Amino acid sequence: MRLYLIGVGPGDPELLTLKAVRLLRELPVLFYPLEEGREPLALNIARPHIPQGKPLLPVPLFTGGDRERAEVARREAARRIREALAWYREGGYLVLGDSLLYASPFHLLPLLEGIRVEVVPGISAHQLAAARLSRPLAMGEEGFAVLSGLKPPEDPEGLARFRTLLFYKAKRAKEIAALFPNREAHVFRRLAMPGERQLSPEEVEGWDYWTLLLVR
């Protein structure tokens, strides 16, 4: 049995790789994460490339802080995937963005022992954010860093060596940007999705999980 983790990019169906599109068309079954009360974003992105009639199976996802509920969701997701692959032999799991960056299916892998997993990378949100600005992430010997934005970094001075800083899930975007007063900062919400917005840190109100802070 084989499971492909297919990165579908940050939101634009035209940003899927050729390999991702081929697998969406050829694989006999596709799994997509579905969290209660939320839209199936990964499926919505991939849908233009999925042939009509293709079996599409939702698997539960829980991203809240309740570890017990998260574990229950993972075990149920693994059960559904195992049962489907026992019949179809191979399938694809749709991953929002890049399948190697903050990707939820990696929590499932310990429960999918014996299933061969192949990762198909996708375009990351930070790549698209840099493209929106027409600015490179790094040049020459420069570097860039990808971090969680759920809380401010503990050592902002230590990040000075990086040309660009990218904070995913930027819950504290305004507070984080203030740590780098001599740099420009851009906040992107729901990149390539309906309702996409580009803001300054001062304009940020409330929080959306799909928030990216770019500091350069």
Structure tokens given for 5: 């983790």
pLDDT (0 to 100) of residue 201 = 93
Q: What is the 3-state secondary structure (H, E, C) of the chain?
A: CEEEEEECECCCHHHCCHHHHHHHHHCCCEEEEECCCCCCHHHHHHHHHCCCCCCEEEEECCCCCCHHHHHHHHHHHHHHHHHHHHHHCEEEEEECECCCCCCHHHHCHHHCCCCEEEEECCCCHHHHHHHHHCCCCCCCCCCEEEEECCCCCCCHHHHCCCCEEEEECCCCHHHHHCCCCCCCEEEEECCCCCCCEEECHHHCCCCCCCEEEEEC
Per-residue pLDDT tens over the stretch 163-203: 999 999 999 999 999 999 999 999 999 999 989 999 999 99
Please work out, in degrees rounded to the nearest 5, the angle formed at the alpha carbon of residue 26 by the alpha carbons of 118 and 90: 45
- Is a pLDDT exceeding 80 seen at residue 65? no
Strand order through the sheet with 164-168: 144-148, 164-168, 211-215, 185-189, 197-199
Which domains are delineated in the chain? 2-120 (3.40.1010.10), 125-215 (3.30.950.10)
Report whether pLDDT(37) > 80: no
Stated pTM of the model: 0.92
Amino acid at residue number 186: H
pLDDT at position 5: 97
Give the pLDDT confidence of 85-119 residue by residue, as tens digits. Answer: 999 999 999 999 999 999 989 989 999 999 999 99
Residue 104: predicted pLDDT: 87
